[in-house]
Amino acid sequence: MRSSGVLLHPTSFPSQFGIGDLGDNAYRFVEWLERAGQRVWQVLPLGPTGYGDSPYQSFSTFAGNWLLISPERLVADGVLAQSSIDDAPAFPAGKVDFGWVIDWKRKLLKSAADNFFANEAHSDHPAYEQFCRENDWWLSDYTFFMAVKEAQGGLPWNQWEEGVAKRYGLSLHEWGTRLAEPIRTLKFAQYQFFKQWFALKEFANARGVRIIGDIPIYVAHDSADVWAHQELYQLDDAGNSTVVAGVPPDYFSATGQLWGNPIYRWELHAERGFDWWIDRIRATLRMVDWIRIDHFRGFEAYWEVPGTEKTAVNGRWVKGPCDALFEAVRHALGEVPVVAENLGVITDEVEALRKRHGFPGMAVLQFAFGKDAAHSGLLPHKWEHDTVAYTGTADNDTTIGWWKAEGGSTQDRKAIKAERAYAKQYLDTTGKDIHWVCIRAVMASVADTAIFPLQDVIGLDTDARMNLPGSFGGHNWTWRYMEDQLTDESADRLRGLAEIFGRCLSADDAD
């Protein structure tokens, strides 16, 4: 079935509380998608963010991002007084100030948890207890990890005292007893996140909107995942990564991207039947309808960099788990709806792996017009049906920003000028309303699924870029749209294109 949709992470919703959340504006966005005839909403990873506030560096692959909890829904649930949110700070409207938001929301959730546990008659207690029982297999590790981390001043787990860092039984018992109250608060926050998320997902699905979620191939070193399962990663006796993940020099960076994530001990995962991966995919499929696996090529071969390196240049390609992982997942879970992120340096072996398992790949229009474009497979007329096609992704500039760019880390001005000249010819455009020209080109393609960052739909410049790979600073992941930018006009224009090219959501698609 042909479909189209919008890429927007929940942190980008408008909100008076400093960060997008799962409250009223999330529901308004879904209603806007319905008006726009869109069948798909794509989000970034939904876990609690750590280093650099990146959703790809999470403290847990199983937990939810507590910053997305709606304070207004906590008031509606009777665990917060209205007065506790009436005097919210004057957060910036168009971006997230993560440090400020974290401090304020942490105190707010502590108050909500205290009120909840003090009120034994609250109707949510049975549901909360059930949530804790059903999710204990990851919830106890995550909440213990976060409570100890806070008590240790935010230090990474391998710098904690030896007993708790190496998970000695007596130390775990002593710390668990000492931190019982903050652990309980953290469990309450997870309960609230999942309660609010599943309500929003149900609302979206009832309107015919399916959600594509994201599984990063790797997890963060400083995470409950690594701390709780140290044997599954290539670590030394002190808990440091002996090798780390990244990619070699590419479109985004002349020195490659040094992600720093620990690399799996794939042979041990295989011996255990890939049980951790099966649990991870099963948990994600409860939250979303499709899974986009970020950096799919790493399952065929991955770029391994010594842990002491400062850039990703001095790495090597190492064979990944290939078919064995996906066969184990299929045996345990059946056919899993996966989108394989196959961008960058992709070999025939990677494509063969993807096609053997029937996973659609990705195409990005911004990458289509470079050197030797006419002879590449990146142009829309060469895309295949089993493709999820984008104008750009969260790692790209907005389409308007891309069009106006005069230089970059891997492209000189002459190359960009030639690229734009070819794009003008191919798209038959002067550049006017380039974002809509590009949306139309992706809509018209044979790709089964077409997706556009909201920034492109509402026509925003580079200031609205979500992420610049390989860079660090206060701008990445902070963008939020303003309420008046989500207009009926843009919804109707998007719907018109979806109708023309056979992608439109109809009343029959809703549950």
Q: Note the pLDDT of residue 362.
A: 97
Q: 136-151 vs 169-178: helix axis angle to the nearest 10?
A: 70
- Gap between the Cα atoms of 5 and 211, Å rounded: 9
| CA 441 to chain CA mean position, Å | 25
Each domain of the chain, given as residue ranges in start order, spans 3-509
Q: Indicate the Cα dihedral angle 481, 484, 488, 489, nearest 10°.
A: -90
Q: Which residue has the tokens 């609230």?
A: 192
- Gap between the Cα atoms of 11 and 22, Å rounded: 9
Residue 397 is given by DSSP the state P
pTM over 0.85: yes
Please state the φ and ψ torsions of residue 187, each to the nearest 5 degrees: -65, -40
The ranges of the chain with pLDDT < 70 are 251-252, 407-411, 473, 507-508, 510-511
Structure tokens at 347: 């070999």
Around Cβ 321, how many Cβ atoms within 10 Å? 20
Q: Note the pLDDT of residue 307.
A: 95
Give the strand pairing for 316-319 and 290-294: unpaired
What Cα–Cα distance (Å) separates residue 316 from each residue in 246, 261, 429? 10, 15, 42
Q: Note the pLDDT of residue 410.
A: 58
Q: Note the pLDDT of residue 90.
A: 95
Q: 434-444 vs 413-427: helix axis angle to the nearest 10?
A: 60
Around Cβ 434, how many Cβ atoms within 10 Å? 22
Q: Which residues contact 232 (CB under 8 A, 6 or more apart)?
A: 226, 264, 265, 268, 269, 276
- 319 by DSSP, 3-state: which? strand
- Gap between the Cα atoms of 165 and 159, Å rounded: 7
Q: Is the dihedral of CA 405, 411, 414, 418 positive or negative?
A: negative
Q: How far apart are the first and last CA of the chain?
A: 16
- Gap between the Cα atoms of 167 and 158, Å rounded: 11
Residue 231 is given by DSSP the state G
Give the strand pairing for 316-319 and 338-340: unpaired
The third-level CATH classification (topology) of the domain covering 3-509 is TIM Barrel (3.20.20)
- Gap between the Cα atoms of 171 and 400, Å rounded: 55
- Residues annotated as catalytic are 294, 341, 395
Residue 306 is given by DSSP the state E
The radius of gyration of the chain from alpha carbons, rounded to an integer in Å, stands at 23
- Gap between the Cα atoms of 45 and 112, Å rounded: 25
Closest CA to 321 of 402, 404, 264: 264
Please state the φ and ψ torsions of residue 157, each to the nearest 5 degrees: -60, -30
Q: Note the pLDDT of residue 82.
A: 97
Order of strands across the sheet that contains 361-364: 338-340, 290-294, 210-216, 40-42, 3-7, 449-453, 387-390, 361-364
pLDDT in tens, 339-373: 999 987 789 999 999 999 999 999 999 999 988 87
pLDDT in tens, 220-264: 999 999 999 999 999 999 999 999 999 988 766 788 889 999 999
Q: Are 312 and 248 in contact (CB under 8 A)?
A: yes
- Gap between the Cα atoms of 328 and 349, Å rounded: 20
- Gap between the Cα atoms of 295 and 215, Å rounded: 9
What Cα–Cα distance (Å) separates residue 333 from each residue in 62, 121, 278, 282, 401? 17, 39, 8, 7, 42
Q: Are 40 and 212 in contact (CB under 8 A)?
A: yes
